[in-house]
Each structure stands twice: as C-alpha cells, then as structure tokens.
Amino acid sequence: MNAKTLLMLAALLTTPSVSCATGSVAEADRAPLMDPQRVVRRLADYPGGIQVVAFLGTECPLAKLYATRLNDLEQEFGKRGVVFVGVDANEQDSLADIARFARERELSYPLLKDPDGTIAAALGATRTPEVVVLDAERQVRYRGRIDDQYVVGVQRSAPNSEELRTALTQLLAGEQVTTTAAPAPGCLIGRREPVNESAPVTYHKQVSRLFQQRCIECHREGEIGPFVLDDYDEAAGWGPMIAEVVRDRRMPPWHANPEYGEFANSCRLSAEEIAIVTDWVADGCPAGNPADAPAPLAFTSGWQLPRTPDQIVPMRTKPFKVPAEAGPEGVPYKHFRVPSGFISDRWVTAAEVQPGARDVVHHIIVYIEPPGGKHRRDWVMLTAYVPGLRFEPLPPGAARLIPAGSQFVFEMHYTPVGAKREDLSRLGLLFVDEEQVTHEAITAEVGDTDFRIPPGAAAHEVLATSEPAKEPFELLSLSPHMHLRGKAFRYELVSPSGEREVLLDVPAYDFNWQTRYVLATPRTIPPGSKIHARALFDNSADNPANPDPTKTVTWGDQSWDEMMLGYFDLLRPRDANRSAGEKPVETGEDLGGG
C-alpha cells in the first residue's frame, strides 16, 4: 500500500471513526473489566481529564513493541493528568498471560481484560495495538495507531508521524486535534462470530491437519511463531487474523514465483487450502468432533542434528544483552569471533546454529575465517539460522571443510521485541573422517558490491554473473539476500551455448524472511555454465521499510545499507589437491555476506 493510498484511507476513516456516540462511550464506561487478580474494574476507576484507552494483545508482535512505547508516553503525559489504561479484548488471552505480559514489560499503566469484548466493540477498536483518546467530556478525540514506526513486517529507524503524541499535546493546549484518526496496522482483536455447528469444515477434521502440514513447525510452544496452532482455543481466537494473512499470502512465508522451479521446502498454500481456512473462520471456527483429530506430531526438541553435537561452540563467553527497544538505526549487526582450536583440517558432515533467544534473533550466519584471512571476502559460509529455516542434512558422503587454525565468525542480527533479552547462540558440529568424504559441500555466491542506488529510485536494477564453471557441480539450493530496499530477485542458469533458464524468481522479496529455496531434485550444472542474478531495489518513499529515500545507497553490513548477493549451495567431488576453501565458481567480485 503506497503513501497516497494510506492518506486516502485515513481521510475516509476520519469522520466515522471519531463520531463515536456518547452512548457507546457510556456503554464502555459501564462494562466490567478484570485485572490479573480477578478484581472487577471499570474505566471510571481511572479518572483523569484525558484518558487513553490502549487495546493490546499478549502475542501480537506489534503490541509487544508498542506496549513499551506507551510506557514512555505515560511517563511523559501522566504528569500532566493524562491517564493510560490498557485493555486486552482477545478471547484467547488469559489473565495469566496478561499478568506475565505486564510484568515482563514493566508496564507503568494497568492492563485489564475485556472479558466479552464489550469495551472494544463499544469504542470501535478492531486491532492491537490501537488507542482511543477520550477528553474530559468523554468524547472520542482520536483513534488509531500510536505512530508509524512499526507496521507489519517493517521497522523504521524512527517514526515519521506520532499521531498519539500530537493529539495529546494539542488537547492539553486546548487546540483542535488535527489528525483525528489513522489506520492501526496490527493484529485483529480475537473475537469470533457465531458458530455454524453444521459447517462442513471443522478444526479437528480439516484445519488441524492443514496446520500440521504447513504451520506448526513454527507455531508451537517454544518456537518462533507468536502463538500456537496445535490448540483449538488458541487457533480459534486467532481465526480472523489467520484468515487475513492466509488470504493475503503473508503466511505461510513463501515468495517464489510458482511458474519457475520446484522446491522441496515449498510451503505455498493452494487455493483449496486457503478456502479451508477462510471457510472455517467464516463459519465461526467450529471445533467439530475431537475423534476426527489427527494424531499429534512429534518434534525434536533442542538440537535438530541427527545426534548430539561432537562439539558445541558458544558465540561468546557471556550472553549479549538485547535492549527492549533500539535506537534510531536499530541494533547494529554484531560479529563475534571464536577460535576453532583445530590443529588439523576437519570435515563437518552437519552444522547447526541455535539461537539462544529466538524472539529477538532475526538471523544468524556463521562463517569460517581461514588462517590468514584478513578481509571479509575471505570468509566462507558454514551455516545459518533464519526464522522458519529447518536443519537439512547433507547427502551421504558430503561434508564441509574447516581448515586448521580457522576462526568462526557469528554474524548476529537482532530485532527488539519490547522487553529486554539475553542471547547466547551456539554452533553445533558433527565431524566425519576424511576417508568417508566423497563430495565437498560449499556455499558459493554471485553478486555485486559496487552498486549505487539513486535516491527515490523505485526499481533500480543490479546485475551480476559468475565466471564459467570450471567443472560440473550439483546445485542444491538458492538463497537471495538483500536488505530493506530489496524488491525482487531472480536467478538464471546460462548454458555454455548462451541459453537462459530461470532457476528461481522472487517477485516480492521480503527481508524478514531469509528463505533458502531447496531444489526438489539436485541439478547437475555442466562445465562452462554461469549463474546470472538480477536484483531490483526500491529506494522510493513508497517503500514503507525504506530508512531514507533521499540517500544514495551502497554496499554495507547494516540493514540500512544494502547488499546484492545470490547464495547457492553446491556439491563438488572432493579433490585432495585443491586448496582448502577454494571456491568452484568465482564471482569476479570481492564479496562478503550479512
């Protein structure tokens, strides 16, 4: 949605959103709320000249961020008589959930349960976080978002507009509120429609099976999904939100164009699967007969490796402290070097990096820095963690080489979640004897480091082509990498005769999902072939994730800089005479990764 559309939407919402009748506010004032100690409260129990009613949810990612932001606003405006009250109208959020949420974020204002959603309905709130500002006469003077720094999938370095702060400042000065409504972009409040008990689609019969196949890998206890989907009450409470993100294809996260290539890890939903979810929600999320439910899936907890790691390497000796909120440019990338201690070359048949605090670790890349490596271009990728990426073993006989005297470099990207965290991520390694290795696994890359993206450019193209392959290799996977201005990415195979074939097309690249696209069948690439990559960057004001559309953007590690890298995993026959770490496909550029 571009800036013009957002402005039009805000204008359309202005009058109807704020002309909430006094009777509706009166209904909200009378409705009971419950605090975590099960004491009945009402909005009138928190009197003040101006009252901010903030609708929050304990599992909504944006609500987690803004709950802390409201702390700061409460400290600033509370001194001037403004009262803040948090309200949780989600059916799926328990009082214990609310108490834990408030305690973890050290909320300075009360957070109360709206048991049947009466207050949310009376004040017209539909999402979390969303605020409603009432003046001394109990008239709605502003409703909508707190500011525009965070939207779904986007975290700006700083807000461009602070609607709540501006509205409060104007009210306290006795002025007219200039912006009376702004769309709230968060999670839908969990309120279900009446249940159609005769609906053909039920949770236990169809929906739970679909969730098992597509969602529960991440949406289960202890994983990165903000809520679980292997529990009916939890799933039903999130039903309307699930229908929205599935219908918009925001979830499950899969960005490959289905016209090109077949991938073993594709989680793209078919039209029929989308209909299962949307029909279920439209009928009020019926549970159905528990006897129809599938058997629960068994998941491996802890390390996903085939066995206990032969060696575990922490990223540092003590945890890194991740702040509740970041500064104007976020948490800068962190690089932690750890000596391997290897006095001889080692072959690794499996490597897994495990985040210590999953909710704040955006992604990790672990590199091998060989002895004598003085520049980033000398690093060789070993393994990575990104949300939703699962461990996949190498084919039998394949392994990665770690030269003697190497160091491990942990590249860490953190995203705060509104509460302080401590992270101590770890690398797990499985070794194999050299005699058992028939093929060397390598992550190569094609890319460009010398680009310059002009200010305001909406579709700036950057191209890169590898040198011809000197020997055949097996192509296993493709992993495009750009930052916040990344718009689209395409890989092509250029045959020795010059013919081109699209291997992967990502028309809507999303920095939040660093996806590794695993080929359904490994592809033999003949000698003389080249890998060509085409990237598009959106440096315009219409890109909501753009840190600064007035800036000329060049290569850099941080997310407000840019990268153009096309990683690809491959296998080549092991050659004992080859130099350790030598790459089979040269890009013609000095490349790093991040």
In tens digits, what is the pLDDT along the chain, a chain of 594 residues? 333 333 333 332 333 334 344 458 999 999 999 999 999 999 999 988 899 999 999 999 899 989 999 999 999 999 999 999 999 999 999 999 999 999 999 999 999 999 999 999 999 999 999 999 999 999 999 999 999 987 766 667 678 899 999 999 999 999 999 999 999 989 999 887 889 989 999 999 999 999 999 998 889 887 778 889 999 999 999 999 999 999 999 899 999 999 999 999 899 999 999 999 999 999 999 999 999 999 998 887 788 898 999 999 999 999 999 998 876 567 888 999 999 999 999 999 999 999 999 888 988 999 999 998 777 778 888 998 876 667 778 889 999 999 999 999 999 988 888 888 999 999 999 999 999 999 999 999 999 999 999 999 999 999 999 999 999 999 999 999 999 999 999 999 999 999 999 999 999 999 888 889 999 999 999 999 999 999 999 999 999 888 889 999 999 888 889 999 999 999 999 874 443 334 444 333 333 334
Q: Report the alpha-carbon distance of residue 185 to residue 544 in Å, rounded.
A: 12
Query: Do residues 364 and 411 touch, judged by C-beta distance below 8 A?
Result: yes
> Exposed, middle or buried by CB within 10 Å (0-12, 13-18, 19+), for 293?
middle
Question: How many whole angstroms separate alpha carbon 207 and alpha carbon 160?
Answer: 40
State how far Cα 555 lies from the chain centre.
Answer: 23
Residue ranges with strand state E in 318-397: 320-322, 334-339, 346-354, 361-369, 380-385
Residues pairing with 84 in the sheet: 52
The DSSP secondary structure of 448-500, one letter per residue, reads -S---BPTT-SSEEEEEEPPPPSS-EEEEEEEEE--TTEEEEEEEEE-TTS-E
Cα separations (Å) of 203 from 213, 229, 251? 14, 10, 18
Structural domains in the chain? 3-188 (3.40.30.10), 203-292 (no CATH), 300-437 (2.60.120), 440-594 (2.60.120.230)
Q: State residue 153's pLDDT score.
A: 64
- Displacement of CA 198 from its chain's centroid (Å): 37
Question: Would you call 376 helix, strand, or coil by DSSP?
Answer: helix
DSSP-derived secondary structure for 35-81: -TT--EE-GGGS--SEEEEEE--SS-HHHHHHHHHHHHHHHHHGGGT
3-state SS track over 404-427:
CCCEEEEEEEECCCCCCEEECCEE
**Token output for 213:** 């196949």
Q: Which of 217, 280, 220 is nearest to 252 (CA)?
A: 217
Report the b/e string of 232-264 with b at 16+ CB within 10 A. bebbbbbbbbbbebbeeeebbbbbbeeebbebe
Residue 19: its pLDDT value, please?
39
Nearest to residue 67, comparing CAs of 117, 36, 25, 106? Answer: 106
Say what the pLDDT of residue 225 is. 83
Q: Please state the φ and ψ torsions of residue 243, each to the nearest 5 degrees.
A: -60, -40
Give how far Cα 189 sits from Cα of 59, 98, 211, 521, Å: 11, 15, 21, 43
The whole-number pLDDT of residue 473 equals: 95
**How far out from the chain centre does Cα 17 lie?**
30
The per-residue pLDDT for 591 is 35
Confidence at residue 485, expressed as pLDDT on a 0 to 100 scale: 95
Distance CA 376, CA 330 (A): 22
The whole-angstrom separation of Cα 308 and Cα 426 is: 13
Taking the C-alpha atoms of residue 216 and residue 211, their distance in angstroms, rounded to an integer, is 6
Return the HEC string of 174-197: CCCCCCCEECCCCEECCCCCCCCC
User: Could you give phi then psi for residue 194, rounded to 5 degrees?
Assistant: -55, 140
Q: Are 252 and 294 in contact (CB under 8 A)?
A: no
- Number of helices (H) and strands (E) in the chain: give both, helices first: 10, 30
Q: Is 390 helix (H, G, I), strand (E, B) or coil?
A: coil
Instruction: Compute CA distances 5 → 2, 12, 225, 374, whole Å.
Output: 5, 11, 30, 49
Specify whether the CB–CB gap between 89 and 111 falls below 8 A: no
CA angle 318, 324, 325 (to 5 degrees): 120
In a 10 Å sphere around its CB, with 0-12 CB exposed, 13-18 middle and 19+ buried, how is residue 289 labelled?
exposed
Among candidate residues 23, 41, 45, the one with its CA nearest the CA of residue 140 = 23
Peptide bond into 252 cis (omega under 30): yes
Dihedral angle computed from the Cα positions of residues 97, 99, 103 and 106, in that order, rounded to the nearest 10 degrees: 110
Q: Which residue has the tokens 């401590």?
A: 422
> Residues in the chain, how many?
594
